[in-house]
């Protein structure tokens, strides 16, 4: 998704007059004041306390200079080891997966929200991103508190959904499964178009090459939108499922398509304000909302089953 066009449908007031969004702080609570007006008259008021992390979740910022990667590592309270998630977004770049990683940690799953471009110390464009960069982040996550190193999972959205499949299939010794939301099943050009998006061992990953998802060493969950306005994510889900079945994939795999939803269903976290660009992303806002409400519990269920092993 193009982060430069991804604006919330509602904008909260701010005393400084700065443009604000509903992005919550990484730590602590944020109170959102809601006011409903009709014909210029206030008819209702409410205050909604919201937080990304539950009490006890620890947050550590990773920097390229110190750690070799940029992101935020969320570690749940307690010491029991369990599955962990390496999460990354799409063409918006930057720290777009903080909310998902924080929520996963609040459910007991360590998660690293990883930026791979458009962040301090990283490339400005989605061009020739080394897949080894994701492997480096995975090794950091494996050594983190509460992580079962044999159960690391990739989770990506849009271009990140493509990367989720590509990274998990390229480094099966590091990852035990992949979650790919509104993905591509083939390697897509970088941005600007005409440039390679990814490299492996210093060489460009060929554009339009099918992703060898059968190499993934663990379960696979994909989700697409039937009315995706960005690319054919529903077709990608079908391609992944067909390829896995053709190779007699030994792990559990599931592909879900939300027929009337658009690309924003890949946001997964339910009950979020809708973007003003929703028509360009495709789909129906109600189908997007219903899809997110269905998808998030499926992601948690995917991780719950890994924990139960």
Residue-wise pLDDT tens digits, 96-136: 999 999 999 999 999 999 999 999 999 999 999 999 999 99
Q: How far is CA 101 from the centre of its chain?
A: 8
pLDDT in tens, 18-63: 334 456 666 667 777 889 999 999 999 998 887 777 888 999 999 9
Q: Comparing 55 with 293, which gets the higher pLDDT?
A: 293
The total number of residues written for the chain in this structure: 309
pLDDT in tens, 195-204: 999 999 999 9
Checking if the pLDDT of 14 tops 70, the result is: no
User: Which residue in 220, 209, 132 sits closest to 181, CA to CA?
Assistant: 220
pLDDT at 5: 29
On average, the pLDDT of the chain sits at 90
Q: Comparing 2 with 192, which gets the higher pLDDT?
A: 192
pLDDT at 126: 98
**How many Cβ atoms are within 10 Å of 80's Cβ, its own excluded?**
10
Q: How far is CA 115 from the centre of its chain?
A: 11
pLDDT at 293: 97
Determine the Cα–Cα distance for residues 166 and 134; give it in Å rounded to an integer.
10
Task: Report in angstroms the alpha-carbon separations of 81 from 49, 77, 150, 196.
Answer: 30, 11, 10, 37
Please tell me the pTM assigned to this model: 0.89
- Across residues 66-80, what is the average pLDDT? 93
Determine the Cα–Cα distance for residues 39 and 201; give it in Å rounded to an integer.
62
Q: Comparing 9 with 154, which gets the higher pLDDT?
A: 154
Q: How far is CA 262 from the centre of its chain?
A: 16
Binning pLDDT at 50, 70 and 90, where does residue 78 land?
A: confident
For residues 219 and 180, the answer to whether their CB atoms sit within 8 Å is no
pLDDT at 278: 65
Share of the chain above pLDDT 90, in %: 80
Sign of CA dihedral 241, 89, 226, 296: positive
Q: What is the dihedral of CA 144, 124, 270, 8, to 10 degrees?
A: 140
Determine the Cα–Cα distance for residues 247 and 252; give it in Å rounded to an integer.
13
Binning pLDDT at 50, 70 and 90, where does residue 273 land?
A: low
3-10+56-308 folds as Rossmann fold (3.40.50)
Determine the Cα–Cα distance for residues 166 and 139; give it in Å rounded to an integer.
17
Binning pLDDT at 50, 70 and 90, where does residue 3 land?
A: very low
Binning pLDDT at 50, 70 and 90, where does residue 79 land?
A: confident
Checking if the pLDDT of 1 tops 80, the result is: no
Q: Comparing 14 with 219, which gets the higher pLDDT?
A: 219
- Across residues 239-249, what is the average pLDDT? 98
Determine the Cα–Cα distance for residues 147 and 150; give it in Å rounded to an integer.
9
Share of the chain above pLDDT 70, in %: 89
∠ Cα 155 266 106 (to 5°): 55
- Across residues 173-179, what is the average pLDDT? 98
């Amino acid at each position: 998704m193009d982060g430069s066009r991804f604006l919330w449908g509602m904008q909260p007031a701010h005393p400084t007059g700065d443009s604000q969004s509903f992005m919550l702080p990484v730590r602590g609570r944020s109170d959102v004041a809601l006011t409903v007006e009709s014909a210029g008259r206030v008819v209702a008021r409410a205050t909604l306390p919201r937080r990304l992390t539950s009490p006890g979740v620890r947050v550590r910022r990773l920097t390229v200079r110190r750690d070799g990667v940029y992101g935020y590592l969320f570690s749940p309270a307690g010491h029991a080891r369990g599955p962990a998630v390496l999460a990354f977004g799409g063409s918006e770049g930057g720290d777009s997966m903080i909310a998902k990683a924080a929520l996963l940690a609040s459910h007991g799953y360590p998660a690293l929200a990883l930026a791979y471009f458009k962040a301090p110390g990283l490339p400005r464009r989605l061009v020739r991103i080394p897949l080894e960069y994701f492997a480096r982040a995975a090794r950091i996550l494996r050594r983190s508190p509460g992580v079962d190193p044999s159960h690391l999972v990739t989770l990506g959205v849009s271009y990140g959904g493509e990367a989720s499949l590509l990274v998990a299939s390229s480094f099966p010794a590091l990852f035990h499964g992949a979650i790919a939301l509104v993905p591509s099943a083939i390697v897509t050009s970088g941005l600007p178009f005409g440039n390679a998006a990814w490299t492996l061992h210093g060489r460009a990953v060929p554009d339009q090459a099918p992703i060898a998802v059968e190499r993934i060493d663990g379960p696979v969950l994909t989700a697409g939108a039937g009315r995706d306005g960005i690319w054919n994510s529903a077709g990608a889900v079908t391609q992944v499922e067909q390829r896995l079945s053709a190779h007699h994939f030994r792990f559990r795999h599931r592909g879900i398509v939300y027929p009337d939803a658009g690309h924003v269903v890949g946001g997964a976290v339910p009950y979020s304000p809708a973007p003003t660009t929703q028509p360009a992303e495709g789909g129906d806002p109600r189908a997007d909302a219903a899809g997110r409400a269905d998808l998030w519990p499926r992601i948690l269920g995917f991780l719950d089953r890994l924990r139960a092993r």
